[in-house]
Chain A
Amino acid sequence: MFTEPSFEELLKRPNESFKILYINFKSEWLAYAKRFSVRDDVVIDVYQDAFLCFYENLLSGKIKTLNSSLKTYIFSIAKYKIYEHLRETSKLRLVKAEMTSKIGTKNLKLTDEPLTEREKLVKSSLKKLGKQCQQVLEMFYLRGLTLDDIKILENYQNTNTVKSQKSRCLRKLRSLVNRENE
C-alpha cells in the first residue's frame, strides 16, 4: 500500500513528494471526477489547483495537522473547486446543498486570493535579490527559523550578523520595489 508522506517530508522536499502524491492519486481522481459533467481539462486543472492550495496552506501554517488522509483532503478541495466551476458556468445554483464532503468547507481553509499589485511588485523584486538574501528571507519568513537557527545553518559568525544581513536584504528589497513603482 502507498504510504502518504508526513507534512515534514512534504515541506522538506516538496517537488519530489508532491509529484509522487500527484501520480499516485491521479487515476483515482479521474475515476471519481467522472460523476461531474465537466470537461477533462477542468478535471485536471482543479486537481492541480487542489495541490497548490494544499501547499499554500502548508507553507503559511494554516494547517498543522489533518483529521483525514491527504487524499481525502486534496480530493475535497478539488471537489469544492469543481462545484465552484459549475456555479460559475451556471450549471449549479445551490453549491452548499451539493457539498457533501467529509471535511467541512471551513476546514479546507480555502483562501486562494490572488496577489495584490503591491505583492506582485515585491515578488518580482524579490527574484532580483541575490541568492543569499533570498535564502535568509525564506528561512525567516517561510520556515520560521530564528536568527540563531539561521546563524548555525548558514555558518554566520554570530546572530547580529544574521540580523544585519536580514535588515540589509529588506532595505534592498524595499528600494527595488520603490524603483519599480516609480
Chain B
Amino acid sequence: MKMNKEELVYKYFQKTIDSEELVEFERLLLEDYAFKKQVELERQTKEAIISIKKDELKHVLRQAEKETSGKKRLPIFWAASIVIGLGFLTLFWLNGGDIDNKELYTAYFEVYPNIIAPPVRGSDSISEIQKDFMPYERRDFKSASTIFEQRFEDTNAPYYLFYQGVSELELGHTNKAISILEKHKAYRDRFESYSNWYLALAYLKMDDLEKSKILLSNIIAQQTYNHSKAKELLQQLE
C-alpha cells in the first residue's frame, strides 16, 4: 500500500501511527535517503527544543539556589566569628544582642511562595484568586496586604491571613504581622506550621527570644515546615 510520506511523518511525531504504517515508515527510513534526512531533522528539532527548555529551567533553579543559599552560608560565618573573636561577640551580647537577632532574622526570612494561585504563563483567563495574588507576585506587599485583609473578611479563608502576615513581615510591620499570624494559627489550617516558622522569626526580630525558642522547639519536635532550619537557628540562639 502506497502511503503519503508527509502523513506518515506527521503521524509518527503525533504518536498516532499504527503498526502497518510503522512498517512502511521503517522501510522508508532504510530505503529513502531524503525521507530519512527529513525524519532526522524533525527528531533533532524536538531534542533541541527540549534542550532549550532545560536551559531555561536551569537558569530558574540557579536563581532559586542563589535565593536560598545565603541562609546556609551565614551560620558558617557565625561559627567562624565565634572562633576568631569570642570577645567581640560577647561585646555584642552585652550590648543587648539586638543586632544579632535582626541579622539572624534577615538571614532566615524569605517570602513564602504563592502556592495558592501561581500565575499561569500564556493563559488567557485569570481566576479571581490569581488576581488577588498578583500584587504579592510582583512583590507589592502593601497592596497585597490590603487585598488579603479584604478577601479574608469576604471569604473567611485562613490562608489569606497567612499571606497577609508574611506581607506585613516583609513590610517591616513586625507587631502587626505577629497579631495576624497568631490569629491565623487559631484556624489550625494547612498553613499552621508555616505560620509557626514565621512567628518564630517575628519574635526573634522583636528580641522575644523566649517565644521564638518555644516555637522553634515545637517545629523541631513535630518535624514540620523548615525543621532543619529551625534546629540550626535554635542552636545559634542557645
Contacts and interface: CB of A to CB of B under 8 A. Distances in A.
A binds B: yes
Contacts of A16: 118-119, 121
Contact of A174 (B14, B41, B65): B41
Contacts of B45: 122, 126, 137, 141, 170, 173
The bracket for how many chain B residues form the interface is: 35 or more
Highest count of chain A CB atoms <10 Å: which of B10, B53, B113 = B53
Contacts of A56: 50, 54
Interface stretch (B55-63, B79-87, B95-103, B168-176): B55-63
A140 interface: yes
Contacts of B46: 60, 141-142
A116 to B, nearest CB: 8
Contact of A48 (B61, B120, B190): B61
B228 A59 contact: no
B187 to A, nearest CB: 15
A134 B119 CA distance: 23
Contacts of A141: 13, 42, 45-46, 49
A16 B121 CA distance: 9
Given A23-B113, A28-B228, A119-B47, A144 B58 contact: no
Contacts of B190: 1
A26 to B, nearest CB: 6
Contacts of A23: 64, 67-68, 113
Interface in B18-62: 41-42, 44-54, 56-58, 60-62
B48 A115 contact: yes
A1 B58 CA distance: 27
A58 to B, nearest CB: 10
A interface, by DSSP: helix, strand, loop or mixed? helix
Contacts of A126: 45, 48-49, 52
A16 to B, nearest CB: 5
Interface string A112-148: 0001101100110011000000000110111010110
Given A20-B113, A28-B228, A138 B49 contact: yes
B53 A55 contact: yes
Interface of A: 1-3, 12-20, 22-23, 26-28, 30-31, 44, 48, 51-52, 55-56, 59-61, 115-116, 118-119, 122-123, 126-127, 137-138, 140-142, 144, 146-147, 170, 173-174, 177
24 contacts: A12-B123, A13-B120, A14-B60, A15-B56, A15-B57, A15-B60, A16-B121, A22-B65, A23-B68, A27-B229, A48-B65, A55-B57, A60-B46, A115-B48, A119-B44, A119-B48, A122-B41, A122-B44, A126-B52, A137-B49, A142-B49, A144-B14, A170-B41, A170-B45
